[in-house]
Structure 1
Amino acid sequence: MLEDHRKKSAHTVRCKVLTVSDTRNEDTDKSGKLIKDLLTGEGHVVEHYEIVPDENLIIKRAVQSGLQDPDIDAVLINGGTGFSKRDVTIEAVQTLFEKEIVGFGELFRYLSFTEDIGSAAILSRAAAGTAGETVIFAMPGSTGAVKLAMRKLILPEIGHIVSEINK
């Protein structure tokens, strides 16, 4: 049954990659580069890539520009998902969700606990949701977290999610 759904899923997803950081630039953004490489390696298209500071309104505007672009199916965000005062990605994007994909955050934290960082996984506020016909993923900014989220959760399901929200 699941294989039938995946066969009908979008094969190419058009994406916006957004890095939230006060310190990274295109040369030092290893996580943004990893997301782009993993997406294109699976046949998806990176239509836009942007680095923005960890500021609520700027993050929200950057995500909204992806939501308003008919050529974007998914916005993938890395960074700003922790507990420091500067970490406001979740506050910025949750207000945009029409439907939250609760399982993404739950599974990400579980996998982080079992496969990566142990009990420090409770510090992650990774989240995902849909807005209109676009899916939004917000993951931590470390390359380990990005690799885990992309390989175990996002890449296997991104086409399926896009197909579902466009029914």
Structure 2
Amino acid sequence: MSVEFNKDASLRAAVLTVSDTRTEETDKSGRHIRQLLRENGHEPVRYAIVKDEQERISAAVAGWLEEDEIDVILITGGTGIARRDITIEAVELFFTKNIPGFGELFRYLSFAEDIGSKAMLSRATAGIASDKLIFAMPGSRGAVDLAMRRLILPELAHLLFEIRK
């Protein structure tokens, strides 16, 4: 039985904000991700904020990977090079396949659009785990907007189709 690609498929997402300081009221990036998902016909089904601690990040991701109703996990924050930025270390352990093009394109677009050479500080990444997509983006609202509008949302349904066919 072949699976058909539906570019308009509604996907279910979990949104994780990694921050030592943000609350639900101050989490502009997490709110923006959920808003963009809804505007594009997708459903944010889970949302959490965890501190920049590998165990907490890993626990949230591991739990969501077990949930059948989640197609994609979108993470914002903790992707830089500061000592507390350990999102990448926490999520890459789950990847069965990396999607290096996401980070490469994100840094290129950041460089070209307005960030300049500071774009090299981002370790934004994506991968596949348990037939789900995981994207890790920087914590700023501008970075989230760039990643979601230019890279993730245009390809989300196609990426999910490819990993599940």
Give TM-score, length-normalised by structure 2. 0.96
Is the deviation greater in 12-21 or in 157-166? 157-166
Runs of 4+ residues over 4 Å off in structure 1: none
Using the TM superposition, give the Cα deviation of residue 8 of structure 1 relative to its aligned residue in structure 2, in angstroms.
Answer: 3.0
State how far apart, in whole Å, the 2-side matches of 1:90 and 1:64 are.
14
Unaligned ranges ≥5, structure 1? 1-5
Q: Which residue does the alignment assign to 2:162?
A: 164
State how far apart, in whole Å, the 2-side matches of 1:11 and 1:24 are.
32
Do the aligned residues in 1 keep the contact of 2:5 with 2:161 (CA within 8 Å)?
no
Do the aligned residues in 2 keep the contact of 1:18 with 1:52 (CA within 8 Å)?
yes
RMSD: 1.2
State how far apart, in whole Å, the 1-side matches of 2:34 and 2:64 are.
16
Unaligned ranges ≥5, structure 2? none
Using the TM superposition, give the Cα deviation of residue 7 of structure 1 relative to its aligned residue in structure 2, in angstroms.
Answer: 5.5
Say yes or no: does 1:20 pair with 2:18.
yes
User: Which amino acid letter does the alignment assign opposite residue 25 of structure 1?
Assistant: T
After TM superposition, list the pairs within 5 Å mapping 1:41-60 onto structure 2.
41-60=39-58
After TM superposition, list the pairs within 5 Å mapping 1:1-167 onto structure 2.
8-9=6-7, 11-167=9-165
Do the aligned residues in 2 keep the contact of 1:99 with 1:131 (CA within 8 Å)?
yes
State how far apart, in whole Å, the 1-side matches of 2:39 and 2:8 are.
15
Do the aligned residues in 1 keep the contact of 2:77 with 2:87 (CA within 8 Å)?
yes
State how far apart, in whole Å, the 1-side matches of 2:121 and 2:102 are.
15
Using the TM superposition, give the Cα deviation of residue 158 of structure 1 relative to its aligned residue in structure 2, in angstroms.
Answer: 0.8
State how far apart, in whole Å, the 2-side matches of 1:108 and 1:96 are.
21
Give TM-score, length-normalised by structure 1. 0.94
Using the TM superposition, give the Cα deviation of residue 166 of structure 1 relative to its aligned residue in structure 2, in angstroms.
Answer: 1.3
Using the TM superposition, give the Cα deviation of residue 164 of structure 1 relative to its aligned residue in structure 2, in angstroms.
Answer: 1.2
